[in-house]
Amino acid sequence: MSDFDRNAARWGQGYARAGRAEIDQGLRSYMLGVYNHMTVGLAITGLVALGVHMLTITSDPAQAVVRVGHMMLTPLGQALYLSPLKWLVMLAPLGFVFFFSFRLSQMSAATARNTFYAFSAAMGLSLSTILLIYTGTSVARAFFITAASFGALSLYGYTTKRDLSGMGSFLMMGLFGLIIASVVNLFLHSTGFQFALSILSVLIFAGLTAWDTQSIKEMYFASDDHEVATKKSVNAALMLYLDFINIFQSLLYLTGSRND
């Protein structure tokens, strides 16, 4: 069974491998590594999104090639957002996720970490479009609401004694349904349907945040060597990163003010 299977073992099964104090210290160090990787990934995403946005818009009409609303795009902006290249920008993060999922067990810890950071940069490129659509104030507000909510939910998942595995199975079924419905809405272009999907997305990924945190905690073994522990940490950071990003995007859709 893969070392990275969410259900590989419960934390309590490794309890006899070391004393309580030793396990608690190791677990805290492991979880801190998870959150550090996730935070670095989010920082990379934000910096890339902001940097790309600055390179793709201009206030100088002489440098603009096309106007989108009240914003003027540079040649780079036209290439990234209006040409067929936009599909590569949109789908690149998904490609990284599939590559990471299938190749993680064969990667070294350093390669896994660098792949995660490259994925974060690709996500930043993809998310740079939100700065064309929504005001900076809306983006900042959605981010801080997401950060506060995520922190509370993850803390609950870490500290609760309740087994969340049953809830997790239900949420995964809901996630598959959400993906299918989102694909359908690509053809329907229904604003009302998208609004409902965004509410559902917030609820599903809020639950997944708590469940994933508990699952990540249970993947810890005091006997793991540095290589295995680091790969687990990076894999866990990806899980929580995706929860955070999906909550953020859904909240932004629900609460954001558009650039007009």
Token couple for 163: 């087994």
For the chain, give the mean pLDDT. 89
Tell me if residue 9 falls in helix, strand or coil.
coil
The pTM (predicted TM-score) of the whole model is 0.89
Cα separation, 236 vs 36, in Å, equals 11
pLDDT value of residue 20? 61
Residues near 9 by beta carbon (within 8 Å), at least 6 away in sequence: 218, 219, 221
Taking residue 35's Cβ as centre, other Cβ atoms within 10 Å add up to 17
In a domain, residue 193? The reply is: yes
Contact 159, 11 (CB under 8 A): no
In a domain, residue 245? The reply is: yes
Per-residue pLDDT band for 14 (boundaries 50, 70, 90) equals very low
Per-residue pLDDT band for 224 (boundaries 50, 70, 90) equals confident
Tell me if residue 72 falls in helix, strand or coil.
strand
Share of the chain above pLDDT 70, in %: 91
In a domain, residue 235? The reply is: yes
Summarize pLDDT for 38-90 with one digit per residue, the tens.
999 999 999 999 999 999 999 988 888 998 878 899 999 999 999 999 999 99
Summarize pLDDT for 238-257 with one digit per residue, the tens.
999 999 999 999 999 999 99
> If 0-12 CB within 10 Å is exposed, 13-18 middle and 19+ buried, where does residue 8 land?
middle
Residue 122 has pLDDT above 50, yes or no: yes
Residue 23 has pLDDT above 80, yes or no: no
In a domain, residue 5? The reply is: no
Average pLDDT estimate for 15-39: 78
Per-residue pLDDT band for 222 (boundaries 50, 70, 90) equals confident
Summarize pLDDT for 158-192 with one digit per residue, the tens.
999 999 988 988 999 999 999 999 989 888 889 99
Tell me if residue 47 falls in helix, strand or coil.
helix
Cα separation, 104 vs 99, in Å, equals 8
Per-residue pLDDT band for 15 (boundaries 50, 70, 90) equals very low
Per-residue pLDDT band for 13 (boundaries 50, 70, 90) equals very low
Which residues form the domain of 177? 11-255
In a domain, residue 3? The reply is: no
Cβ-count burial 158-185 (b if 16+ within 10 Å, e if not):
eeeeeebeeebeebeebbeebeebeeee
In a domain, residue 71? The reply is: yes
Number of domains in the chain: 1
In a domain, residue 185? The reply is: yes
Cα separation, 202 vs 166, in Å, equals 19
Contact 124, 52 (CB under 8 A): yes
Using alpha carbons, list the distances in angstroms from residue 246 to 11, 37, 111, 238: 27, 18, 25, 12
